[in-house]
Amino acid sequence: AEFLHPVGVNYLFAPWISCLLLLQSSPFITPKSICYILLWWVFILPIVILDVSIYGQWFTKGKRFLSTVANPTSHLSVIGNLVGAQAAARMGWRESGLLMLSLGITHYLVLFVTLYQRLTVSKCIPSMLRPVFFLFFAAPSMATLAWEAIFGGFDDAAKMLFFLSLFLFLSLVCRPTLFKTSMRKFNVAWWAYSFPLTILALASAGYAQEVKGGIAHVMMLVLSALSVLVCLALMVLTAINNTNILLQDSHHSVLNANTINSTTT
């Protein structure tokens, strides 16, 4: 059922993205160890399988064309490739990193143009899922980190990707009415704010280290502080609302399925 859902299918990438990020941040596994390599293969193979299936559907199946099923959560399919590219670069597999990076960036460009020209993109997902619009700048932010890991520095291409993610972030922040409905009551979708902000903060840190300017360091501190505050606030709100959050989500899942099915038919 999730695989046929235009939103749910993209969340099939989420567990493997999380595993790859945890693998890179683990203090107990070195990037060039056998354990790291084996785990990378275990986590990357499901992403590749999903890539072949989902990307193939985008241009071969009439009812599954990208123009009809594209929504902000589709960026998760791109982010999976970019995280895999960064993890491959960490263990010195530059060619594998380039392979995953090329897949991610190519499909991101197609997805970005598709969503950018859709006037009704806000109607393709329920209002309670509006926080996933932050994934718009998560993909170029992750591409910045992957590019830096593969090429060994924050060069001009990495800066261009970072500037794009910063522009998209500011564009969303300047439109608070887009998230007005989804912010009325806490739900799990609010966690979609945390990951993009964290990745953007990490990209800003790399930019600040390269530029070594006052403005760059201030921007890094602001984004890092914002990321930490958002994560802390989400943890507190989740702990406070843990009694009714599952019941609320089960109720909304039925409404979301009906809404999305009506928009895709």
Q: Residue 115 maps to which CATH number?
A: 1.50.10.150
C-beta neighbour count of 177 within 10 angstroms: 6
262 in a structural domain:
no
**Among 163, 233, 173, 157, which Cα is nearest to 200's?**
163
Q: What is the pLDDT of residue 259?
A: 46
Is there a contact between 157 and 213 (Cβ–Cβ < 8 Å)? no
Is there a contact between 85 and 20 (Cβ–Cβ < 8 Å)? no
Q: What is the pLDDT of residue 1?
A: 52
Q: How confident is the model at residue 249 (pLDDT cuts 50, 70, 90)?
A: low
C-beta neighbour count of 127 within 10 angstroms: 16
38 in a structural domain:
yes
C-beta neighbour count of 136 within 10 angstroms: 22
Q: Provide the whole-model pTM.
A: 0.85
What pLDDT, in 10s, does the model give residues 113-146?
888 776 455 556 677 788 888 999 999 999 999 9
DSSP 11-46: GGSHHHHHHHHHHHH-SSS-TTSHHHHHHHHHHHHH
264 in a structural domain:
no
Q: What is the pLDDT of residue 255?
A: 44
Is there a contact between 67 and 44 (Cβ–Cβ < 8 Å)? no
111 in a structural domain:
yes
Q: What is the pLDDT of residue 240?
A: 83
**Cα–Cα distance measured from residue 176 to residue 178, given in angstroms and rounded to the nearest whole number:** 5
Residue type, 173: V
Q: What is the pLDDT of residue 244?
A: 63
What pLDDT, in 10s, does the model give residues 172-212?
888 888 777 777 788 888 888 999 999 999 999 999 999 88
Is there a contact between 136 and 76 (Cβ–Cβ < 8 Å)? no
265 in a structural domain:
no
pLDDT at residue 41 tops 90: yes
| Residue 141 lies in domain | 18-257
Which residue bears the tokens 């107990």?
28
- Total of domains in the chain: 1
91 in a structural domain:
yes
CA angle 224, 183, 122 (to 5 degrees): 95
Q: What is the pLDDT of residue 9?
A: 81
11 in a structural domain:
no
